[in-house]
């Protein structure tokens, strides 16, 4: 899912290397890219969320054996087609329904779509438990935690999960300086090549706040046991501190093909196309605390997961809307945390909710933020 994005392309590289058959491919609207992938990987199914583009794709690949589906329902049909593993790298809330469809079909989930867990919460984790489906993390930080937990015999042994963060392109700047930054500035991530939405999330450090929520969901720990540490080099991908104060970390060069391959081949390890980590080539590895005053999104997310219910979903939807408006040039960079914080305070306080409740809240928040900016 999301085969034409950065993670999707790298996942296909890994699949080709490991001889993994591709059953289905989905993307948003990239006709040229997915046509090329269809001709190379020969999936049985493909879907584009954009119905007009899907119609064009259907004509283009009529000479292949791939059946083309369209719209959100088409993407969900691909996700629920019964593949052994569904790798979900769709960006944003659009990944929630396909995740649930894949779980319902009994497929193992390789998850790079953090928003599905942030917004869906117990709907996703509960469905996975009932179906006996594993959710294997693809994000480098959560894969690192997952790998560092392999020697853990009981949850009581975990003292802290420590997620590392590069600090993004604006590390060291203060609030007044952030009011002047541009989209081009925000897209200059120091270590990773990512899509525009995720790059902006990294710049606001919202990405790390969402990952905090995801860690709580994935590893079933309270928010108080998840800390953030700035590590500019992105070599130590995350750490687990145990009750005896020993700390286990996973290290590697900044290359997403390591966590992608581990999710697709777990519990086995194989040679990968990633270059060997030689610490002597890196010199110093540095660590420091985040500047929560300049980058408040982390604490907004922490407060949301502490409250539970629909608060994480509200934070996620508000961020997606504000992030998009910033990329469209309609708001400033510093407006993003302000908007997210305002919407976090307005979320309905309820522990019981359905998928329809999440989707309705998402529509309401996006409409409210858009109308506010238009006025």
Helices 206-219 and 335-346 sit at what angle, rounded to 10 degrees?
40
- Predicted confidence (pLDDT) at residue 85 exceeds the cutoff of 60: yes
**pLDDT band for position 2 (50/70/90)?**
very high
Task: Indicate the average pLDDT of the chain.
Answer: 95
CB 80 within 8 A of CB 103: no
pLDDT at position 151, please?
84
> Could you read off the pLDDT of 313-365 as tens digits, one per residue?
999 999 999 999 999 999 999 999 999 999 999 999 888 899 999 999 999 99
Block residue for tokens 């950065």? 6
Mean pLDDT of 5-32: 96
Contact 2, 88 (CB under 8 A): yes
**Taking Cα atoms as reference points, which of 236, 237, 50, 18 lies closest to residue 140?**
237
| Structural tokens at position 270 | 């194989």
Three-state DSSP state, 39? helix
Domain 308-375 has CATH 3.60.15.10: no
Question: Does residue 28 carry a pLDDT above 60?
Answer: yes
pTM: 0.94
**238 and 161 in contact (C-beta within 8 Å)?**
yes
pLDDT digits (tens, 9 = 90+) for 212-254: 999 999 999 999 999 999 999 999 999 999 999 999 999 999 9
Every domain of the chain with CATH number 1.10.1740.10 lies at 308-375
Residues of the chain with CATH 3.40.50.720: 6-137
Q: Where do we find the tokens 């509200």?
A: 314
Lowest mean pLDDT segment, chosen from 184-188, 229-233, 369-373: 369-373
E strands in 29-124:
45-48, 67-70, 85-88, 108-111
What pLDDT, on the 0 to 100 scale, is given for residue 3?
Answer: 98
pLDDT in tens, 249-276: 999 999 999 999 999 999 999 999 899 9
Q: Hey, what are 207's tokens?
A: 């990405």
SS3 at position 286: coil
Q: What kind of fold does domain 6-137 have according to CATH?
A: Rossmann fold (3.40.50)
């Amino acid at each position: 899912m999301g085969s034409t994005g950065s993670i999707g392309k790298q996942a296909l590289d890994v699949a080709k290397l490991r001889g993994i058959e591709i059953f289905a491919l989905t993307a948003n609207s990239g006709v040229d890219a997915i046509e090329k992938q269809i001709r190379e990987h020969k999936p049985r199914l493909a879907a584009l969320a954009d119905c007009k583009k899907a119609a064009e794709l259907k004509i283009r690949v009529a000479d292949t054996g791939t059946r083309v589906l369209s719209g959100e329902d088409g993407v969900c049909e691909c996700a629920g087609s019964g593949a052994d593993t569904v790798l979900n790298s769709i960006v944003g809330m659009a990944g929630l329904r396909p995740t649930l469809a894949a779980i319902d079909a009994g497929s193992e989930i390789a998850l790079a779509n953090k928003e599905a867990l942030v917004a869906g919460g117990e709907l996703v984790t509960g469905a996975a438990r009932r179906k006996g489906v594993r959710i294997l993390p693809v994000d480098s930080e959560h894969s690192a935690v997952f790998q560092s937990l392999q020697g853990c015999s009981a949850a009581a042994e975990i003292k802290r999960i420590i997620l590392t963060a590069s600090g993004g392109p604006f590390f060291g700047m203060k609030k007044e300086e952030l009011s002047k930054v541009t989209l081009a500035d925000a897209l200059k991530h120091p270590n990773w090549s990512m899509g525009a939405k995720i790059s902006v999330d990294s710049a606001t450090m919202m990405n790390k706040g969402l990952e905090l929520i995801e860690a709580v969901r994935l590893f079933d720990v309270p928010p108080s046991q998840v800390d953030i540490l700035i590590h500019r080099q992105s070599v130590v991908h995350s750490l687990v501190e145990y009750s005896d104060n020993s700390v286990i970390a996973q290290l590697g060069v900044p290359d997403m093909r390591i966590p992608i391959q581990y999710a697709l081949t777990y519990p086995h390890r194989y040679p990968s196309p990633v270059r060997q980590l030689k610490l002597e080539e890196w010199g110093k590895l540095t660590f420091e605390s985040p500047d929560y005053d300049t980058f408040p999104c982390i604490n907004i997310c922490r407060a949301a997961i502490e409250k539970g219910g629909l608060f994480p979903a509200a934070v996620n939807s508000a961020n997606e809307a504000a992030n998009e408006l910033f990329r469209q040039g309609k708001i400033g960079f510093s407006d993003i945390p302000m908007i997210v914080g305002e919407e976090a305070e307005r979320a309905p306080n309820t522990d019981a909710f359905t998928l329809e409740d999440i989707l309705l809240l998402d529509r309401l928040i996006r409409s409210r933020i858009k109308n506010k900016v238009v006025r």
